[in-house]
Copies of this chain bind each other. A is one copy, B any other.
């Protein structure tokens, strides 16, 4: 986890940095609203990344933002095993992410599939999502 507090960067600049960091290989990037001294609303930038990418992402943050200091922490992680299956829906096929850990298994429709089919079919995202969950439920019954 790489973090920096930013009180002299604009929102425009922060949106740009998020995009640059994701392009440069960060696993994930997120912002937290914080409140700094002298009545300054500010933003905490958090970057989850491979330890090997730390130096390059640090340089990107120092170059692209107004901060002069960055901090690091190593967190341990538990990650579920994942594979993908595909289910048919009235709007077209949707991939489901199947995540498992011990005896836990859960299926989540892929957002990009649902969004694409919703726009192609002119229906709400929720309709496609719901259809994909129903198909997932059907798969479970057939197991």
Q: Residues on A close to B: CB < 8 A?
A: 1, 3, 5-19, 22, 28-44, 46, 58-59, 62-66, 68-73, 75-80, 82, 97, 99, 101-102, 104, 106, 108, 111, 115, 118, 124-126, 129-131, 133-134, 136-138
Q: Chain B's nearest CB lies how many Å from the CB of A136? A: 7
A123 smallest CB distance to B (angstroms): 8
**Residue of B at shortest CB range from A105?**
B63
* Contact A11–B64 (Cβ < 8 Å): no
Q: Specify which of B6, B71, B97 is in contact with A11 (CB 8 Å cutoff).
A: B6
Per assembly, the copies of the chain total 6
Q: Which of B22, B30, B75, B102 contacts A42 (CB 8 A)?
A: B30
Q: In the complex, A135→B78 CA distance in Å? A: 33
Give the CA-CA distance A136 to B136 in the complex, in Å. 14
Inter-subunit contact B16/A7 (CB<8 Å): no
- CB neighbours of A58 from chain B (8 A): 78
Bound CA span A31–B7, Å: 13
Q: 17 additional contacts, CB 8 Å, given A11-B36, A41-B43?
A: A9-B10, A10-B10, A12-B111, A13-B129, A15-B38, A15-B39, A30-B37, A32-B33, A33-B33, A62-B80, A68-B80, A68-B97, A70-B78, A71-B78, A72-B75, A106-B126, A134-B138
Looking at the complex, which one of B82, B101, B125 makes contact with A13 (CB distance below 8 Å)? B125
